[in-house]
Structures are given as structure tokens and as C-alpha cells.
Chain A
Amino acid sequence: MARRSDEELAGLLEKFVCVRVVQSYGMDLSLFQFDSQLTWAVFLLTADKTIYGRYGTRASGRDRTASISLAGLKEALRGALELHGAYPRDRGALAGKTGPAPLWPAPERIPALETVPWWKGRAVPADGSEARCIHCHWISSGEAWSLRATRKPVPDKLLWAHPTPEVLGLTLDRAERATVAKVSRGSEADRAGLRTGDRLLRLEGQSILSIADVQWVLHNAPGVGSLEAEVGRGGEKLDVSLALEPGWRRRDSLKERTIAGLAAELLAGTGPLKSASKERTAALGLADGEMALELESDWQTYCNPSAKELRKGDVIVAVDGRKDLTTEDAFLAHFVQRTAPGQEVELTVLRGGKSLSAKLRTP
């Protein structure tokens, strides 16, 4: 059990101007770009808006806080203070920590947050001087929805945002800045020669204070290419190159992001799906690995009304003839990225030994 006060942390925090932000209305999205799905995220930066680093990572699995710790936070603070002591000498090296121009300058300017009833109806009066309280986790999903609504491409970067290092086979120690705790065999990290205990000093030229800083580099990384890393090992510095293979970003999970829930409910109307078990697919006459996504619940009233005939236990085996959407993530991404407002979509569904056609109309 942690102590109620932490003098070491207090001492570090005294060296910062500490600001707590509780909602995102008015947030400058040209500056504050982070995984908006987080319920707790930190920026370390200068008064002239040069970012030293980020802290805060949402782990997958049951324990969402498995990738953060007080020890790791203190390390990030110390790292920021080191950078601050040298500032502005290394200012050029910090340029990459600021993102490109945002799609919209502030959350309240994202069209979907003003027009989609699901968001609009959830406005919470704050102190009376502002009419809205915008939740951070609405930002990226609002952006995706707004792009889709105007038939513009929704990039993978927006859906699979801020990938965790695990997508490249790298697990980092949450108590350190960016120290390798584990390398998955055969992964990009393994093939690059990274080892347990290595310290990621720089990635794509950016100093690394935390796992979130690694995620920031991955977030802005190309679909195919490589990432150049400077690694500390046994007192020496090494240069390492991590390959980025096609589809690397999609290895991260889409399921727990807000956009996935919206796609499942408002677009597809299916609600949550799971891959049908081997026994179930065999009983249905499907080969192992064939598309077989099973509905986990009956249609709900808040879901796409054109899907109301769907039932718990239905198994979806094709979408408009496509049988390659073998995971829930692929299925939901298809609805976000490949359907347009007002489009008719045909699901091929197996129920009770029969093949049925369910025609949906996406909003």
C-alpha cells in the first residue's frame, strides 16, 4: 500500500508549474496531442510550448494501469528536468515531440461533437460560463466520425492511435524511462537485436522519457519503413534499426477504443462480437480460420435500428461478400473506413443451421 504522501514526488513536483485539466473544451489540439482514450495523461513542457515528454499508457488486458507507476512517473519528471536544465540548447531535438497540424484546432470544433446526438446529448453544464464539458476520449472518435460523415478517408493512425511498443515485440519496464523488460522472439525488436535491459535513449532522434514517448513515435511512424533507435547497453551506445512491416499498426487492439464501441453499436448495430469457437465453427461447417464472428447479445435499442433482426448467437460470415474480416477489429474498422453514410451493407449470417441475409443501412 502506498503512503498517503510522497516527499520525493513532492520535491520533484515543486520544480514544475502543475496544471490539472479536467475536460477538453478549449484544448489546443495543435499542442496537446496524446492518446485521448487515456483517463490520465501527462505533458511535460516549457513555457514556450516545447514538449519534453509525455507520460501515461493504457495497458491492454484486465489491468489498464499495468504500464504506469509512480517510479516511472518520477523518472519522467527527472528526465524532463534534465532537458530543462539544458534548454534551449537541444531545442531542435525536441521538435519531433510536437505533432503536425490537427484536423480541427479544438475539440469543440470537431463537427461530430456538435451534430451527432450521441455526443451532443451528453453535454454536461460545467460552471455556467461554458456550455459543454467535452470528454477527452471523444476527441479521436469524433474526428473519425467527422471524416467518415464527409466521405473522407479515416486513416489507420486515427483508429490504431498511439500503438504500444508490444506491437513490435517490445515490453518496457514501467518503473523506468524506457528500459526493455522483454523482447518477443521473432519480433521486429528481436530481429533488430534489442535485449532485456537495453535503454532506449532516443527513437527517431527524440529523447525518450517514458513508454508514452515511445508510443508517440510509433503513432507518427509510417505504415512501412524503419525506426532508428539509440540504445544504451552496458555503458555503451548502439544504433539499432527496427523494421516496420505492412500492417504493423493493426496488431494493436481496436476493441477498447471508443470508436470501436460506436462502430459496433451505431454503424453495424451488432454490438460486441467474438470469434466463434473452433467447436462452433466446425459445427457450422466452416473451416478453421474462416470468418465467423458471433454476436454476444441481442440487438439493443441504442444500436443501428436497421440491425434489429440480429440475434445473440448469430454468426456473421461475410460483409458484402467479403469473408476476410476474420476479427472483430477488422469488422469494425471496415464499417468505419469502408462504409459511407446511408450505405446499404449486407451481412451474411448463420442462424439455426440456415444462411440469412441481413441488410443494414449505416448512418
Chain B
Amino acid sequence: MLSASSLRLRIIGCLLCLACVSSGSLLTKALGQASDKEKLRKALGDVELAGPWIYDDVPAGFALARKNGKPLLVVFR
């Protein structure tokens, strides 16, 4: 059974990823970086990407932020 702290971390981590499902964006693949990072994600046994999250590519994040004027949220997890 999960401890309260483990459950809370999982909930926050999952909600950050799943919260973007409703937007339906395919931005990560459009950037053409899915194959390299897909290898990384699978090597780490990581969760499926959902929504517009950029996976382990900070420069791509900055490039997109310069283009669309949005601020960045960078999660280290």
C-alpha cells in the first residue's frame, strides 16, 4: 500500500502529465524529437507522454517559448 507521501507525489506527477490530455496537442512529435527521446523514455521505463509536454529537451523548450511568447515550466522529475 502506498504511503501518503508516495501517493501525493504520484498524484501531482500524474496530474501534471494527464492535465494536458484535454488540449490534444501533438507538439512534441511536430518538433521531430520523439524518436531520440522515446528511446530515453523507454530505457527509463517512464510513463507515456501525454499532451504538449516536451520530453527531456530544454533547448527545444526555450526555442518554442521564444516563438510563442509563453513562459516555461521545467519539471525535474
Contacts and interface: CB of A to CB of B under 8 A. Distances in A.
A and B from one assembly? yes
Contact of B71 (A5, A45, A69): A45
Nearest to A129: B36
Interface of B: 3-5, 8-9, 11-23, 36-37, 39-41, 43-44, 46, 51-58, 60-62, 64-66, 68-77
Interface string A29-51: 00010100011111111111100
B75 A6 contact: no
Given A21-B56, A128-B39, A129-B36, A47 B66 contact: yes
B36 A127 contact: yes
A139 to B, nearest CB: 11
Contacts of B60: 19
B63 to A, nearest CB: 8
Find the residue from A5, A34, A84 having the highest chain B CB count within 10 A. A5
Interface of A: 2, 4-7, 9-10, 13-24, 27-28, 32, 34, 38-49, 52, 62-66, 68-70, 73, 77, 80-81, 84, 124-129, 133, 136
A210 B30 CA distance: 33
A358 B76 CA distance: 42
A127 B19 contact: no
A22 B77 contact: yes
A28 B46 CA distance: 23
Nearest to B19: A10
B19 A13 contact: yes
